[in-house]
Structure 1
Amino acid sequence: MPSVKNPNGPSKNRLAARAAKARKQAQKQSAAGRKSKVTKADQRRGARPGLLPTSGPNAAISAKKRRKLERKMEYALKRKMEEEREAEMKDAPEADDSTKDGGKATDEDMAVDTENIA
C-alpha cells in the first residue's frame, strides 16, 4: 500500500502562502509606528526609507570623503577658537607696570620701611 499524506490538511503551497501573508502583515504593522523621513518629492522619484540616493545632498558619503570633511571641520573649529581667544586678549586691560622709565625702578619703588626693622 503506497504512503499518502492526509488529504484533509492544507497543501505545502497553501502553508507557504499563509506564512508569507503573516510575515507581510507583521512587517507592515511594525513599520506603521515609524514615520518615513523621506520627503514627498523624493518619494515620487522612487526613494524609500531604507535606501539612500546615489547623488544629491542626501547621498551617502564615502569613508575617505567623510574623514576629509571631519578634518576640515576640526580645522575650522580650531581657527574659530583661536579667533575667540585673540578677541578676549584684545578686550583685556593691559597690566600696569610698577616700573616706569623703560623698566628702571624709581626711588619710591626701592624705599624700605625702616621703622619696623628689629
Structure 2
Amino acid sequence: MPSVKNPNGPSRNRLIARAASLRKQRQRESALGKLEKNHKITKEDLARGARPGLLPNSGPRKALGKKAQRKLEKKLGYAIRRKMEREGLSKMEVEKVEEMMGIGKTKKTATTEETTTEETPATKEVEMDFS
C-alpha cells in the first residue's frame, strides 16, 4: 500500500492556513467579548469603531462636533435659567450663577453695588458663593 495522501483533499499547507485563520478569528471574537464585558461597550458600538476611551463614529452615541456641543451648551444654559426663574431666583442671582458655571453671555458688567440675597427655597437648598 503506497503512502500517498488523497489527491482530492486540501493540501497540508492549506489545512495549516485554515487552522491559523480560524484561530485568529476566535482570538479576535474573544477579545471583543472581553471588551464588551469589562468596558460596557455594546456590540453595535464596537461595530461602529468604539473602543475603551473612544466613542463610535456613527449612531446615537457618536461624539458631537464642536458646533453641536456649543449649541447643546446654550440649550442647557437656557433650560437652567428657566428652571431657576421658576424657582424664584432673581435675575441678578441667575446671572451670577450663570457666570460661575460659564453659561450664557460671556461679557461681564461692572457693578459696585452689594446685592442682597433673599431667602428663597432654591437658595436654602444649595449654598452658593456669590463673591
Q: TM-score range by the shorter chain?
A: 0.3 to 0.5
TM-score normalised according to structure 2 size: 0.35
Higher RCO (CA-CA < 8 Å; seq separation 6+): 2
Q: TM-score, normalised by structure 1?
A: 0.38
Identify, as 1 or 2, the structure richer in helix: 2
